[in-house]
Structure 1
Amino acid sequence: MAKAERTLETRERILSAACEVIAEVGFEKIRMRMVAEHAGVSTALLHYHFETREKLFAEAMTHSFAQTGTELERDADSVPASVTLARIIHSMLPTDPELRQDWKLWQELWVRALRDKSAHHLTVDLYDQLHTWVAEALRRGIGTGEFADCDIDATSTLILALCDGFGIRLMLEDPRVTLDAAQAAIWQVIAGTLGTPPAFPDI
């Protein structure tokens, strides 16, 4: 393996470990040594790649986000826009263990963003990317005639807000909210605007 490949593999291992440790103990309790041990690297090597835990946290969030984006982009152009949009909504809820971990990272980021300017900027940037994913699915559906014409920005913002609200309730394991009910409710809210059947699509 070439040096560049080894370096990239090490960074990936560190970032995956950081996501797991931050989700487990929270940012305030995390120590660089904990991440190094979890990743199987020395603390010195960890500091070589990430000078501070703040930089590590930001990179870990971006890494986690990119993994979700890669999954969403796979075969997106070969399925109906309604399926793509349903997959996006599904991925923005804590629907499996990996996405529950991502949600824990988001919740850590929300708290930090209230007090830390760099975390605030990162949060806004990540929401911009989420907004873009949703907007592109809506735009494609409108272009093919699958969706009715609508205010793309307003509808994208509404979808993100609904996912955030239901996602928090799901993370808290609120007995009044199930995953199926959350997805169905979100879709019913937007179905009239998009001119689609009210049932959540089979993804």
Structure 2
Amino acid sequence: MRTADTRERILTAACEVIAETGFEKIRMRMVAERAGVSTALLHYHFDTREKLFTEAMTHSFANTAVDVDRDAETAPAAVILGRIVRNLLPTDPVLHQDWRLWQELWVRALRDETTRVFAVDLYGQLHAWVAGAVRRGIATGEFAATDVDDLSTLVLSLSDGYGIRLMLRDPTVTLDTALTSIWRHVAAALGLPETMPAG
């Protein structure tokens, strides 16, 4: 258990430091200090910065997914899908940090083939996350039938576009307008009300 706790602490610290400093500027020592562990212990768990970075990204995504899907078996499908859409945007400080990590991933993926492959795989997981919620709603009769992969790609594309502008603090885009716009497309495809469900 202690090993799992240590890894969790290191990954949480890595997410924070990468988001604050940027991947290219971080040193393993900085993450070790933030996590309250020795550099030697950090290297025991993660022998390279690259491995630490990819595991931190995976850790960040996994934590977001767990929070959204906490009652997926009992909550209405529209509520779950609405949560996913909210969590694809920088809607709170934790998700803002996640977005900074994604931006670091995009930049690194442009220059490093291993990171590019990893980024494509993470997008595949995001696509499956959205698609799974849509398929669940169609299967239960809550959603109208639609091209699930096409809708999932659209949701991710809109989320990326709006998310970047929100991260840039573009004064012409607000979180409310972004959510309203994305949900309007979701609602039209799935036969849902245009008001995003609470929860």
TM-score in terms of structure 1 length: 0.95
Paired amino acid for 1:57: F
Separation in structure 2 between the aligned mates of residue 192 and residue 57 of structure 1, nearest angstrom? 38
Unmatched segments (≥5 aa) in structure 2: none
Whether 1:50 aligns to 2:50 is no
Match of 2:71 in 1: 75
Say which SS state the counterpart of residue 18 (structure 2) adopts: helix
Say which SS state the counterpart of residue 89 (structure 2) adopts: coil
Superposition RMSD in Å: 0.9
Match of 1:133 in 2: 129
Match of 2:21 in 1: 25
Separation in structure 2 between the aligned mates of residue 111 and residue 137 of structure 1, nearest angstrom? 29
Paired amino acid for 2:64: T
Separation in structure 1 between the aligned mates of residue 168 and residue 53 of structure 2, nearest angstrom? 23
Say which SS state the counterpart of residue 111 (structure 2) adopts: coil
Match of 1:146 in 2: 142
Match of 2:35 in 1: 39
Q: How many residues end up aligned between the 2 structures? A: 199
Match of 1:10 in 2: 6
Paired amino acid for 1:10: T
Q: Which ranges of 4 or more aligned residues in structure 1 deviate by more than 4 Å?
A: none
Separation in structure 1 between the aligned mates of residue 98 and residue 28 of structure 2, nearest angstrom? 20
Whether 1:111 aligns to 2:107 is yes
Separation in structure 1 between the aligned mates of residue 141 and residue 7 of structure 2, nearest angstrom? 43
Deviations along 1:37-57, one digit per CA (max 9) or x if unpaired, are: 111111111111111101110
Separation in structure 2 between the aligned mates of residue 144 and residue 41 of structure 1, nearest angstrom? 48
Whether 1:165 aligns to 2:161 is yes
| Offset of residue 83 of structure 1 | 0.8
Paired amino acid for 1:202: A
Unmatched segments (≥5 aa) in structure 1: none
TM-score in terms of structure 2 length: 0.97
Deviations along 1:109-163, one digit per CA (max 9) or x if unpaired, are: 0111111111111111111111111111111111122211110000000001011
Say which SS state the counterpart of residue 29 (structure 2) adopts: helix
Match of 1:186 in 2: 182
